[in-house]
């Protein structure tokens, strides 16, 4: 059974499981799946032109050029070897290959794993305006629902209004927030936050940081300092470092991820604004080029518009037209 058939079967009974993905990925699905369908409608039998067009569709979905070339190459080989020339079947093979490549790299845990004792610390980084603060609120909401005690730390002392923004979310979520004076050292705010977390028996501390362009060296180095200071208060902190990437920035997201990966250990990526892009293939590009797991995806602006990344649901949302 091909992957698409498998996914349709899998979610036939529990349709509501994929609703969020299905809605959030509407634009991407239109861009990818409808194009595939239209393409296969125009050909009786695949030829080189067909594969060229297929490759173009992949590239337009932002899976990354090298990944697109590699996958098309694999599909072409399978087509020749198994003598499959029917366009629909070729499209299904393509989807199988997209999936296989991701699965091969090993699908790792997405949920945060909590320390047995003491607070678990999550540091959130990324360039300006990608959705760091909003994602922090969403993650806090998620774990509050699981009865975790959450503390927010506003280590963005740079942008005017940043502390208030996090404080507003904290109020809405009914959690405490630790912040410092404007333009104080973010590392010292992080330190205070961790200290309080220990004293208050917090399960999850989420540290917000200022948006920083990956090209600004001093700001990138500042991340190192924040981490070192954290580890003084809680050994092994931060346990998790999430890089937030805005899906609408397309391939630049991959450039950002590479730069952040160079200066800091990332344990996961959150891709936001998936609902606002038609280029949902970015997830595959990131996986292909960086090997860092996508842990969560943002599918809207509301507090529960965050989903644990699930490859089956993602592919269903991207590929299954209803």
Ligand X SMILES: Nc1nc2c(ncn2[C@@H]2O[C@H](COP(=O)(O)OP(=O)(O)OP(=O)(O)O)[C@@H](O)[C@H]2O)c(=O)[nH]1
């992957």: which residue's tokens? 3
> Is there binding between residue 131 and ligand X (CB under 6 A)?
yes
CA distance 248 to 309: 17
Site string for Mg ion, 32-71 (x = CB under 5 A): ----------------------------------------
The stretch among 36-44, 90-98, 128-136, 143-151 that binds ligand X (CB under 6 A) is: 128-136
**Given 3-state DSSP classes, what are the helix, strand and coil percentages for the chain, each rounded to the nearest 5?**
55, 15, 30
Report how far residue 218's alpha carbon sits from residue 209's, in angstroms, rounded to the nearest whole number: 14
Distance CA 90, CA 94 (A): 6
Interface with ligand X includes 288 (CB under 6 A)?
A: no
Q: Which residue, 196, 122, 237, 213, is CA-closest to 159?
A: 213
Q: How many residues bind Mg ion (CB under 5 A)?
A: 2
User: What distance lies between CA 247 and its chain's CA centroid?
Assistant: 8
**Min. distance of Cβ 132 from Mg ion in angstroms?**
5
The two tokens of residue 215 are 């090209």
Stretch that binds ligand X, among 11-19, 95-103, 195-203, 300-308 (CB under 6 A): 300-308
Residue 273 makes contact with ligand X by CB under 6 A? yes
User: What is the total count of residues that contact ligand X (CB under 6 A)?
Assistant: 21
Pick the piece of the chain touching ligand X (CB under 6 A) from 8-16, 32-40, 255-263, 294-302.
294-302
Examine residue 132 and tell whether it contacts Mg ion (CB under 5 A).
yes
Query: Would you call 118 exposed, middle or buried from its count of C-beta atoms within 10 A (0-12, 13-18, 19+)?
Result: middle
Our finding on whether 138 is near Mg ion (CB under 5 A) is no
Least distance to Mg ion from the beta carbon of 47, Å? 50
Binding mask 177-216 for ligand X (x = CB under 6 A): ----------------------------------x-----
CB of 64 or CB of 126, closer to ligand X: 126
Q: What residues pair up with 294 in beta bridges, in sequence order?
A: 269
User: Residue 238 and residue 202: Cα distance in Å, rounded?
Assistant: 14
Q: What's the angle, vertex CA 32, arms to CA 28 and CA 35, rounded to 5?
A: 135
Q: Name which of ligand X, Mg ion, none residue 130 binds, using a CB cut-off of 5 to 8 Å depending on partner kind.
A: ligand X
Residue 76, token pair as written in the block: 């072409």
Q: Which residues bind ligand X (CB under 6 A)?
A: 126, 128-134, 156, 159, 162, 211, 272-273, 275-276, 298-301, 305
């Amino acid at each position: 059974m091909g992957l698409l058939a498998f996914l349709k079967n899998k979610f036939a009974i529990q349709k509501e499981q994929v609703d969020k993905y299905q809605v959030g990925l509407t634009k991407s699905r239109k861009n990818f799946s409808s194009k595939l369908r239209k393409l296969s409608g125009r050909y009786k039998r695949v030829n080189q032109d067909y594969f060229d067009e297929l490759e173009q569709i992949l590239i337009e979905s932002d899976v990354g050029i090298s990944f697109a070339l590699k996958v098309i190459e694999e599909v072409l080989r399978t087509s020749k070897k198994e003598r499959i020339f029917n366009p629909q079947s070729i499209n299904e093979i393509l989807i199988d290959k997209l999936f296989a490549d991701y699965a091969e790299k090993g699908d790792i845990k997405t949920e945060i794993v909590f320390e047995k004792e003491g607070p678990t610390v999550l540091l959130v980084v990324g360039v300006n305006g990608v959705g760091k603060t909003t994602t922090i609120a969403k993650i806090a909401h998620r774990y509050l629902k699981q009865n975790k005690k959450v503390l927010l730390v506003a280590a963005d002392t740079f942008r005017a209004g940043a502390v208030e923004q996090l404080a507003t979310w904290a109020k809405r979520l009914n959690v405490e927030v630790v912040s410092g004076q404007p333009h104080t050292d973010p590392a010292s705010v992080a330190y205070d936050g961790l200290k309080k977390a220990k004293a208050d028996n917090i399960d999850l501390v989420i540290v917000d940081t200022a948006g920083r362009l990956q090209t600004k060296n001093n700001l990138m180095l500042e991340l190192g300092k924040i981490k070192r200071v954290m580890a003084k208060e809680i050994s092994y902190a931060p346990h998790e470092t999430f890089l937030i990437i805005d899906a609408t920035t397309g391939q630049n997201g991959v450039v950002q991820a590479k730069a952040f990966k160079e200066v800091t250990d990332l344990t996961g990526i959150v891709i936001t604004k998936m609902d606002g892009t038609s280029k949902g293939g970015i997830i595959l590009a990131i996986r292909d080029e960086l090997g860092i797991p996508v842990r969560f995806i943002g599918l809207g602006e509301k507090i529960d518009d965050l989903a644990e990344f699930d490859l089956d649901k993602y592919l269903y949302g991207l590929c299954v037209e209803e």
